[in-house]
Homo-oligomer: A and B are copies of this chain.
């Protein structure tokens, strides 16, 4: 892995990358449904059968693209957090991470649809995707964790029926956070992606015009729901949590 030994190995990694690049280009141009192995091979000047030496099936190629897409989205969220240090305020970091994910989705709509839309034909999420898939939610968790350690969190309400499940989730995801916060985090996660999906998949057509404003307002409400206090220290909490 460290040093490329022979010409053959070098060629293999290069061709594998070229295939993925061309496939990604087709994905971006036409969507996952129209991604064709033969078209990729044609564009690369090779026989379609040769492509099967690198990816045993079309679904395997798609899975590789899925992992890359998860990583790409995760990297966008992480770099947004890196650019917004804790001194900027936890709520600002939360908004920055969420907006970065939305910007990534708008920039890569077909890749977003590939990972957060309906699962493809016969695919079942392979194990190797879960690490990449976890990067965005983990980035969001890290913001809340930082806030919990420094300023503290306003505990979200937790219904009695969810207490056991919330404790289980907390043990799995973030044992250092209160179960109520972890449950609210999972809800926040699905709310953020629900909003992005609705915008991207056309459900906001004729409904929401200023999508950016709506998203930022929603994300701010979600931050409040998770327990992130209002920004400037001292504001009690009642007045205007949305701005």
Which segment of A6-14, A48-56, A199-207 sits at the interface?
A199-207
* Cross-chain contact A173 with B34 (CB below 8 angstroms): no
1/0 per residue A146-164: CB within 8 Å of B?
0000000000111111101
A32 to chain B: which residues have CB within 8 Å? 118
Enumerate the 9 nearest inter-chain pairs by beta-carbon distance, A residue then B residue, closest first: A194-B194, A117-B118, A113-B118, A159-B242, A157-B242, A33-B121, A162-B217, A165-B210, A159-B243
* Cross-chain contact A186 with B160 (CB below 8 angstroms): no
* Interface size of A in residues (CB-CB distance below 8 Å): 65
Known: A165-B213, A218-B187. A118 touches B201 (CB 8 A): yes
A198 to chain B: which residues have CB within 8 Å? 189-190, 193-194
Most buried by B among A120, A198, A206: A198
Those of A128-176 within 8 Å (CB) of chain B: 130, 133, 156-162, 164-165, 168-169, 172-173
* Cross-chain contact A162 with B194 (CB below 8 angstroms): no
Inter-chain CA distance A120–B197, complex, in Å, is: 14
When the two chains form the complex, which single residue of B116, B209, B217 contacts A161, counting CB atoms closer than 8 Å? B217
Measured between C-beta atoms, what is the minimum distance from A140 to chain B in Å?
13
Q: Does A83 contact B (CB under 8 A)?
A: no
A208 to chain B: which residues have CB within 8 Å? 165, 169, 186
- Chain B: CB-nearest residue to A199: B190
Q: A162-B242, A169-B209, A194-B194 are in contact. List 18 more A-B contacts (CB 8 A).
A: A34-B121, A113-B119, A117-B117, A117-B118, A117-B201, A156-B221, A156-B242, A161-B216, A162-B213, A165-B210, A165-B214, A168-B209, A169-B207, A190-B197, A191-B194, A191-B195, A192-B194, A197-B197
Q: Count this chain's copies in the assembly.
A: 2
Q: Does A232 contact B (CB under 8 A)?
A: no
Q: Does A78 contact B (CB under 8 A)?
A: no
Q: Does A40 contact B (CB under 8 A)?
A: no
A-B contact pairs, 10 of them (CB 8 A): A113-B119, A119-B201, A165-B208, A173-B207, A183-B217, A186-B204, A187-B195, A189-B198, A191-B191, A194-B198
* Cross-chain contact B118 with A118 (CB below 8 angstroms): yes
When the two chains form the complex, which single residue of B114, B116, B183, B220 contacts A159, counting CB atoms closer than 8 Å? B220
* Cross-chain contact A205 with B125 (CB below 8 angstroms): yes
